[in-house]
Amino acid sequence: MTHLLTLDNVSKIFGGIRALSNVSLSVPPDRIVGVIGPNGAGKTTLFNVITGAYRATEGNVVFDGKEMTQWPSHRIMRAGIARTFQNIRLFGGMTVWEHLLVAQPHQGNMLRLVLPARFADPVAWRRAEEALDIFGLGAYRDTVARTLSYGLQRKVEMARALTTGPKLLMLDEPVAGMNHDEAEELRLLLLRLQGQGLSILLIEHDMPFVMRLCHQLYVLNFGSLLAEGTPAEVRSNPAVLDAYLGSETAC
Ligand code: ATP
C-alpha cells in the first residue's frame, strides 16, 4: 500500500538526550493512526519533527510521495499537513471566525492578521464556513475564542487546522480537558472526516477514546517504538501493558 506519511528510522537528539531513536511509522490514506506512550516518551517531539518545527537528526520523512525531512514548516503545511497543539494556541482578542480566516495559507502574508475579515477571499471564506459548520461552532462565530470553554477552544483549534485544506490532520491530545460527551462527539466527528478522505494522526492519553477511534497504534517509550498494531493487538501486548497500559485502568 502507498502510504501518505512515512517515517524511516527518524531520530532526534537534543544535546545528550535522544528524544527519538530510530522511529519508523506510516500513515495510510484515509486512516486514523494513534501515537501513545508515557509522559516524556517523545510523542510531541515526533509531531514537531513531522511538521518541521524540529529537524530530524537522522532518518527521513516522506509525505505524499515527497521527501520533506528538511523542509520548513510553512512548506510542509502547504503540502497538506495541519496540526493542533497540546497547549491550546489561540490569539487574544480574535473571534472564532477571525481564527478560521487567518490560518489559511493562500490568504497571503501577515497582512491577513490586520485586514478586516470582510476582505478575505471567497475560497478562504467558504473553507471557514465549512469548518464552522463541521465543528458546530456557528453559535460562537463572533465570540472571542479565548473566552470559550476549554472543549470549545480545542474545537476552534481543530477547525482552524481544517481550514488549511489538509490531507493529514495531526492532533496533539485533542480530548484533553473535554468531558465524556464532548469526547464522544469529537470521536464521531473525526470518524466522519476520515470517511470523507482525511487521514488523521493523533497523540492521546485517553485510552478508551484511542482504542475506539484508531485503526492503527504506535507505542512510544523512551523515544523508541515499543509496539505497533491494531488497538486489540496493542492492548494485549505484554510489553505495552508493562510499560504503559498497566497503569491505565480504563482501557
Ligand atoms: P507528554 O506526554 O508529557 O507530552 P511526550 O511523549 O510528548 O510527553 P516529548 O515532549 O516529546 O514527550 O519529550 C521527549 C523528551 O525530549 C523529553 O525527555 C523532553 O525533555 C525532551 N525534549 C523535548 N523537547 C526538547 C527540547 N526542545 N530541548 C531539549 N529536550 C527536549
Q: Whose CA is nearest to atom 25 of ligand 1?
A: 14
Looking at 127, 148, 164, the residue that finishes a domain is: 164
Tell whether 51 and 174 lie within a shared domain.
Answer: yes
> Would you say 201 and 168 are in contact if contact means Cβ atoms under 8 Å apart?
yes
Looking at 129, 164, 199, the residue that finishes a domain is: 164
Looking at 164, 196, 222, the residue that finishes a domain is: 164
Binding site membership of 45 for ligand 1 (Cβ less than 6 Å): yes
**What pLDDT does 103 receive?**
67
Separation of alpha carbons 32 and 216, rounded Å: 7
Tell whether 25 and 56 lie within a shared domain.
Answer: yes
Binding site membership of 39 for ligand 1 (Cβ less than 6 Å): yes
- Helical H segments across 37-149, by residue range: 43-50, 73-79, 96-102, 111-114, 122-134
Tell whether 251 and 171 lie within a shared domain.
Answer: yes
Q: Whose CA is nearest to atom 26 of ligand 1?
A: 14
Q: Whose CA is nearest to atom 22 of ligand 1?
A: 19
Tell whether 160 and 93 lie within a shared domain.
Answer: yes
For residue 5, give every residue at least 6 positions away whose Cβ sits within 8 Å of its Cβ, in sequence order, or none. Answer: 26, 27, 50, 61, 62, 63, 64, 81, 168, 199, 201
Q: 122 C-alpha vs ligand 1 centroid, how far in Å?
A: 40
Tell whether 172 and 247 lie within a shared domain.
Answer: yes
**What pLDDT does 245 receive?**
78
Q: Whose CA is nearest to atom 28 of ligand 1?
A: 14
Tell whether 59 and 105 lie within a shared domain.
Answer: no
* Ligand 1 atom nearest 220 alpha carbon: 6
For residue 24, which amino acid is it? S
Binding site membership of 48 for ligand 1 (Cβ less than 6 Å): no
Tell whether 181 and 248 lie within a shared domain.
Answer: yes
Tell whether 157 and 174 lie within a shared domain.
Answer: no
The structure's pTM equals 0.90
**What pLDDT does 119 receive?**
57
SS3 238: helix
Q: How many C-beta atoms lie closer than 10 Å to residue 6's C-beta?
A: 18
**What pLDDT does 249 receive?**
46
End-to-end Cα distance, the chain: 30
Tell whether 52 and 76 lie within a shared domain.
Answer: yes
Tell whether 228 and 110 lie within a shared domain.
Answer: no
SS3 77: helix
Q: 20 C-alpha vs ligand 1 centroid, how far in Å?
A: 9
> Would you say 102 and 113 are in contact if contact means Cβ atoms under 8 Å apart?
yes
The owner of cell 501493558 is 241
229 forms bridges with which residues in the sheet? Answer: 217
The ranges of the chain with pLDDT < 50 are 107-111, 249-251
**What pLDDT does 41 receive?**
95
Binding site membership of 145 for ligand 1 (Cβ less than 6 Å): no
Tell whether 32 and 92 lie within a shared domain.
Answer: no
How much helix, strand and coil, in percent to the nearest 5, is found in the chain?
A: 40, 25, 35
Binding site membership of 42 for ligand 1 (Cβ less than 6 Å): yes
Range of the domain at 19: 1-80+166-251
The owner of cell 476549554 is 150
Binding site membership of 40 for ligand 1 (Cβ less than 6 Å): yes
Tell whether 52 and 173 lie within a shared domain.
Answer: yes
Q: How many domains does the chain have?
A: 2
Q: Kindly report the CATH number assigned to the domain that includes residue 249.
A: 3.40.50.300
